Amino acid sequence: MKLLIDRILQDGRSLPGGILKVDSFLNHQLDPNLMYKVAEEFSRRFAGKRFNKIVTIEASGIAPAIMMGYILQLPVVFIKKKQPKTMDNMLVSEVKSFTKNRVYTVCISRNFLTPDDHVVFIDDFLAYGNAALGMIDLACQAGATIEGMGFIIEKGFQGGGDRLREMGYDVQSLAIIDSLDDCKIMIRGNQ
């Protein structure tokens, strides 16, 4: 997606350890126009699928997911990274965080992920695929079906995309980073 690629090249910063910092439009300050365009592109890419719900994970997946939910008039559920004391009936899984280097518990209410649900999962980044595997585990527990997975930025060199595609998932990434070596951002299809 050209608009996104141009923005990553303009505002993104490559940090040591294979981390891309895009906090001026995605991870801290948010650009609603870009998020809307991203959501339109996801809606277009998943137009051939039948799904009734969008699932994401807090915090940075929520902005694109809610825009997509608005466009398609579908409910949006976000997986929580802390189990709320006030909620029972939760499905729980564990996810290894790439950026924070620790394991955390994620959860979603059985009321909002059920065997009747066909969902598209949306997130900001795909790195090793751990968050997506957490989603797959929760969907399995719920008996829900994952129709596709959409990521704004995939870091192709960290292998999560290959892993998920080998598992048979329809993975759509709007920008694929091939390398962040030497503080240079190399984006697939843009060389």
Residue ranges that bind ligand 5GP, judged by CB under 6 A? 19-20, 27, 60, 98-99, 123-131, 155, 160
Nearer residue to ligand 5GP within complex by CB, 116 or 162? 162
Residue 104 counted as an annotated binding residue? no
Q: What is the DSSP letter of 80?
A: B
Angle 32-45/2-11 helices, nearest 10 degrees? 140
CB of 34 to ligand 5GP, least distance (A): 15
SS3 letters across 94-163: EEEECCCCEEEEEEEECCCCCCCCEEEEEEEEECCCHHHHHHHHHHHHHCCEEEEEEEEEEEHHHCHHHH
Q: Are 159 and 181 in contact (CB under 8 A)?
A: no
Helix (H, G, I), strand (E, B) or coil at 91: strand
CB of 95 to ligand 5GP, least distance (A): 7
Nearer residue to ligand 5GP within complex by CB, 88 or 166? 166
Residue 190 counted as an annotated binding residue? no
Q: Are 155 and 18 in contact (CB under 8 A)?
A: yes
Residue 20 counted as an annotated binding residue? yes
CB of 18 to ligand 5GP, least distance (A): 7
CB of 88 to ligand 5GP, least distance (A): 26
CB of 99 to ligand 5GP, least distance (A): 5
Nearer residue to ligand 5GP within complex by CB, 52 or 137? 137
Torsion region of 133: left, alpha or beta (phi above 0 gives left; psi -120 to 50 gives alpha): alpha
Task: Point out which residues pair with 120 in neighbouring strands.
Answer: 54, 148
* Residues of each annotated binding site: 20, 27, 127-131, 155
* Residues of each annotated binding site for xanthine: 20, 27, 155
* Residues of each annotated binding site for 5-phospho-alpha-D-ribose 1-diphosphate: 127-131
